Each structure stands twice: as structure tokens, then as C-alpha cells.
């Protein structure tokens, strides 16, 4: 029976590993659809930024209570996985509490620490669930933000409920384990009571030894299978940011906030017009002006989309959204990720070859009305906890509309013409530009 359990566990672990590798490859392939961009300069500053923003969660603490609760879940997720390592090894080797003899008296202290973290995760997830479903936070409500309808709302609740159930399972397992130790079961080494699960022992004390063995094994299998399922599920979920927040913050752009990237070919034409550059006769390749689909965006834009946790801080800070416009920076990122997901399915269906599906990010996912509502105020960029930049995608899509499709409001076209002819947005001679100061 023990050998069969080990074989089943090994098969399940292998299947989970295969599913995760397969999914990670699809994500990698879709991110690589984006344009090349070199973001490897200043490695020291990049490491510091990643440790401060992703690991230290600096921007989460502008709301201290939420920041502390999020830190509990985050720290619990990272550190409890050390105990998961022991459970995995126990499953493969047919042992129980493999590290107990090795760590000696330190082992109960370590499990106590994990249990305190498990309780913290449980409490934080319950509070987050109430906070979300009791409609206490407007930016998390599907009734106010249409992009949250359907799967996004379900996804958020599934993750929170799953974490609650997993924490209950591990505490129940430890409580049943402690009772079995006391009853002299040879399979259960005597390591004593644990700081949190000891309070659950009265719940199980009335059960027979045989029933406790079943409860402990069921809780053990439920917990580890739940962890395996969570590991696969999270690669399809908004909670992929658990992993991608680190590379996403490492590869952030360090240009000053508000800087808009200029196209080299356009910059050259402007410099020639102003006489600040001489014509060398070898103009750079212009390519497409702006972006119509995700392939025209940078790979960093696409990693941003996969890293977004849909927290809505960007949308809550957006003045256009606050005044009732259709623009939601969160939706921009979610739409970009949806497009990537569709292209990922395209790649899988066609054996790794991307075939035209007749769709594009602009038009089929993101609409003109959304793009034109943006004031480029950078509020969404400033609000993001992991340095995602929705504005860059918006600007590239608008650039395509204006420069490739000549699709811009009449007022914009008049301004563009004045800039081209008069080097200013206003329709007067450049020589009259400083007439306003004559009476000063």
C-alpha cells in the first residue's frame, strides 16, 4: 500500500510538472511575440528596484492595513512552501516528517512558525474575501467596472477560497498528527503539539485511532494535491504576478516619468526640419508607426499584461475613469493579456506557428473611445504596485491611429498641422511666438 501511494504521488507530481512547463512555454512564446527591447543596463539599480518593489512591496504600504495583510499572504505563500518541500519528499520516499530527526528540537519551532503564518494567511484571505464580496472597495466591484464581470470575479474568489481551505487542511493535518503521536502510532514521530493546531485537537479527540489515520491522510493528500492544483491554476490566473512581479520590476524602464518614446525615423525628420541634423542619405527603417496588435508592442508591454493582478489601483486613480469615461487602465492590461491568451491558443492549435486570425488588439479588444479618453497624466503608472505602464500601450495604439490610419479628431489634426508648419500647437508665425511678453 505504501509503495502504491509513492507511485501515485510520483505520477501526480510528474503530471503537474509537465503541465506547468507546458504552460510556461506558451507564456514565454507569447511574450516573445513582442518587439525586442534592451532593458539590461544598470543591473545594480535593477536588483535594488526588484527587492524594494517586488520583494519589499513598498508601494503596497501606502495603505498600511492592506499592505500588512498582503504581506502576510505573500510571506506565508513563500515560507510555508518550505514545509511543502518536506511533504513532497515524504510522498516520494514514503516517510513522514522527514526533517524531524534531522532538525531535532528546532523542528517543532519551525512548524510553529509555519502555523502562525498559516493562521495569518487564513485571516487575511477571509478579510480580503469579505472586503471584495461585501462591496467595500468600489474598484473591485463588477457592477462599476465591466472588465471584472465573469471570469475575473470568479478567479479572485477561487484563489482566496482555495488558500483558506489549504490553510485549514494543513492545520487539521497537524492536529490529527499530534493526537496520533500521543496514541503511539509508529508512523508518527513524537514531535509534540504545535502552537496553532493544538487548539483543533479537541475537535478530533473523540475519533478512533483508525478514523484519525484517515483524517490525517486525507488532510495530507488534500493539502499537497491542492498545492499542486494551485501551482498549475495560478499560471492561468491573474495571480501569475506572484512569480512575474520579480522579473517585471527588474526589467522596468528607468526613464523619467512622463517621457514618451519617440520613433527614430520621425525624430530624424524633425531634426532635419529644424536644421539640427544634416541629411546622411541613410534614413532608419521606419517600420509600423505605433501599434495595432501585440506584435507591435515591446515584450516588456506584454510581460506587464501577464503581471497585472487586476487590483484596479490604476483605474481608481484615472481621472478619465472617475469622470465616467470608458477608459480603464486595468481593462487595457486585461485586454492585452486576453489577446495574448488567444494567440497562445493559436500557437498551440497550429503546432507553434502563428496564423492570422483576422483580429487585432486595436478594434477587437480595445476601442477608440477608450484610447481618446486618456489625458496622459501618468496617474495609472504612479499607482501600480509593480511598475506596470498601461499608458505606454495606450500611446502606441493612439500613435497607430493617428499616423497609420489618419484617424484622429479634427482638433488634433489641426494641432498636428500647426506643429508641423509653425513648430507650435497654435496657428501663428514662429516669429510672433514671444509677442505675449512685449508689455511685461
| 24-51 pLDDT, tens digit each | 999 999 999 999 999 999 999 999 999 9
Phi, then psi, of 35 in degrees rounded to 5: -65, 150
Contacts 24+ apart (CB under 8 A), 372-377: 372/398, 372/409, 373/320, 373/325, 373/326, 373/327, 374/320, 374/327, 374/398, 375/319, 375/320, 376/260, 377/319
Convert the pLDDT of each residue in 335-359 to its tens digit. 999 999 999 999 999 888 888 899 9
Answer whether residue 180 shows pLDDT above 70.
yes
Q: Where are the domains of the chain?
A: 2-31+63-239, 264-423
Query: What average pLDDT does range 44-64 have in this prediction?
Result: 90
What distance in Å separates the CA atoms of residue 80 and residue 108, rounded to the nearest whole number? 14
The residue length of the chain stands at 440
What distance in Å separates the CA atoms of residue 289 and residue 261, rounded to the nearest whole number? 12
- Taking the CA atoms of residue 50, residue 53, residue 56 and residue 60 in that order, the dihedral angle to the nearest 10 degrees is -160
What distance in Å separates the CA atoms of residue 76 and residue 121, rounded to the nearest whole number? 6
Phi, then psi, of 366 in degrees rounded to 5: -115, 130
Percentage, residues of the chain above pLDDT 70: 95
Phi, then psi, of 298 in degrees rounded to 5: -75, 155
Query: Which among 74, 14, 23 has a CA at the least distance from the CA of 236?
Result: 23
| Residue 433 DSSP label | T
Q: Are 114 and 80 in contact (CB under 8 A)?
A: yes
pLDDT at res. 281: 62
Q: Are 69 and 63 in contact (CB under 8 A)?
A: no
| Residue 192 DSSP label | -
Answer whether residue 209 shows pLDDT above 60.
yes
pLDDT at res. 416: 83
Query: What average pLDDT does range 116-130 have in this prediction?
Result: 90
Whole-angstrom CA distances from 146 to 57, 315, 360 are 28, 12, 21
pLDDT at res. 134: 82
Whole-angstrom CA distances from 333 to 119, 340, 387, 422 are 33, 11, 13, 37
Residue with cell 503530471: 15
Q: Are 270 and 264 in contact (CB under 8 A)?
A: no
Q: Residue 410 — very low, low, confident or very high, per pLDDT cuts 50/70/90?
A: confident
| Residue 210 DSSP label | H
Answer whether residue 1 shows pLDDT above 70.
no
Q: Residue 255 — very low, low, confident or very high, per pLDDT cuts 50/70/90?
A: confident
Answer whether residue 403 shows pLDDT above 90.
no
Q: Which three cell numbers stand for residue 331?
A: 481593462
Number of other CB atoms surrounding residue 62 within 10 Å: 11
Query: What average pLDDT does range 374-400 have in this prediction?
Result: 93
Convert the pLDDT of each residue in 310-341 to its tens digit. 999 999 999 999 999 999 999 999 999 999 99
Whole-angstrom CA distances from 417 to 199, 288, 300, 402, 421 are 75, 21, 32, 12, 6
Q: Any idea which of 25-29, 174-178, 375-379 has the lowest mean pLDDT?
A: 174-178
Which helix (H) or strand (E) covers residue 267, if one does?
helix 264-274
- Map residue 366 onto helix, strand or coil: strand
Please, what is the average pLDDT of the chain? 86
pLDDT at res. 336: 96
Architecture, CATH, for domain 264-423: Orthogonal Bundle (1.10)
Q: Pick the residue with more confidence: 233 or 434?
A: 233
Query: What average pLDDT does range 94-107 have in this prediction?
Result: 81
Convert the pLDDT of each residue in 259-308 to its tens digit. 777 777 677 777 776 677 676 666 555 567 889 999 999 999 999 999 99
Answer whether residue 397 shows pLDDT above 90.
yes
Q: Are 392 and 382 in contact (CB under 8 A)?
A: no
> Which of 61-65, 92-96, 371-375, 421-425 shows the highest mean pLDDT?
371-375
pLDDT at res. 55: 87
Answer whether residue 85 shows pLDDT above 70.
yes
Answer whether residue 77 shows pLDDT above 80.
no
pLDDT at res. 22: 93
- Map residue 335 onto helix, strand or coil: helix
- Map residue 35 onto helix, strand or coil: strand
pLDDT at res. 283: 57
Q: Residue 409 — very low, low, confident or very high, per pLDDT cuts 50/70/90?
A: confident
pLDDT at res. 287: 66
Amino acid at each position: 500500500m505504501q509503495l502504491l501511494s509513492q507511485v501515485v504521488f510520483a505520477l501526480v507530481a510528474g503530471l503537474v510538472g509537465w503541465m506547468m512547463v507546458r504552460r510556461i512555454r506558451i507564456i514565454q512564446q507569447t511574450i516573445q511575440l513582442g518587439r525586442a527591447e534592451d532593458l539590461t543596463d544598470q543591473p545594480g539599480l535593477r536588483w535594488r528596484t526588484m527587492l524594494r518593489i517586488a520583494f519589499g512591496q513598498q508601494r503596497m504600504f501606502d495603505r498600511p492595513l492592506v499592505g500588512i495583510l498582503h504581506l502576510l499572504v505573500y510571506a506565508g505563500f513563500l515560507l510555508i512552501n518550505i514545509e511543502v518541500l518536506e511533504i513532497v519528499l515524504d510522498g516520494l520516499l514514503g516517510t513522514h516528517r522527514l526533517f524531524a530527526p534531522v532538525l531535532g528540537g528546532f523542528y517543532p519551532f519551525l512548524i510553529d512558525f509555519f502555523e502562525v503564518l498559516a493562521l495569518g494567511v487564513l485571516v487575511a484571505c477571509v478579510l480580503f474575501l469579505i472586503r471584495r464580496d461585501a462591496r467595500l472597495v468600489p474598484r473591485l466591484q463588477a457592477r462599476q467596472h465591466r472588465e471584472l464581470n465573469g471570469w475575473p470575479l470568479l478567479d479572485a474568489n477561487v484563489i482566496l477560497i482555495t488558500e483558506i481551505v489549504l490553510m485549514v487542511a494543513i492545520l487539521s493535518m497537524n492536529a490529527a498528527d499530534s493526537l496520533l503521536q500521543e496514541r503511539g502510532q509508529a508512523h508518527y514521530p513524537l514531535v509534540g503539539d504545535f502552537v496553532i493546531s493544538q487548539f483543533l485537537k479537541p475537535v478530533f479527540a473523540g475519533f478512533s485511532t483508525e478514523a484519525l489515520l484517515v483524517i490525517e491522510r486525507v488532510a495530507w493528500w488534500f493539502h499537497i494535491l491542492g498545492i499542486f492544483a494551485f501551482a498549475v491554476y495560478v499560471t492561468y490566473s491573474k495571480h501569475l504576478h506572484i512569480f512575474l512581479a520579480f522579473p517585471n520590476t527588474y526589467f522596468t524602464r528607468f526613464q523619467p516619468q512622463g517621457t514618451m518614446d519617440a520613433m527614430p525615423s520621425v525624430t530624424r525628420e524633425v531634426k532635419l526640419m529644424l536644421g539640427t541634423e544634416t541629411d546622411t542619405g541613410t534614413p532608419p527603417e521606419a517600420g509600423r508607426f505605433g501599434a495595432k496588435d501585440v506584435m507591435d508592442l515591446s515584450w516588456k508591454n506584454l510581460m506587464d499584461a501577464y503581471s497585472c493582478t487586476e487590483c484596479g489601483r490604476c483605474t481608481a486613480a484615472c481621472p478619465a475613469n472617475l469622470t465616467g469615461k470608458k477608459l480603464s487602465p486595468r481593462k487595457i492590461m486585461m485586454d492585452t493579456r486576453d489577446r495574448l491568451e488567444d494567440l497562445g491558443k493559436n500557437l498551440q492549435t497550429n503546432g507553434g506557428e502563428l496564423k492570422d486570425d483576422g483580429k487585432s488588439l486595436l478594434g477587437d479588444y480595445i476601442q477608440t473611445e477608450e484610447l481618446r479618453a486618456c489625458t496622459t497624466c501618468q496617474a495609472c503608472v504612479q499607482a501600480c504596485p509593480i511598475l506596470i505602464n498601461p499608458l505606454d500601450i495606450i500611446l502606441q495604439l493612439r500613435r497607430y491611429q493617428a499616423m497609420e490610419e489618419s484617424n484622429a479628431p479634427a482638433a488634433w489634426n489641426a494641432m498636428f498641422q500647426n506643429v508641423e508648419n509653425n513648430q507650435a500647437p497654435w496657428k501663428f508665425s514662429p516669429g510672433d511666438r514671444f509677442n505675449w511678453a512685449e508689455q511685461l
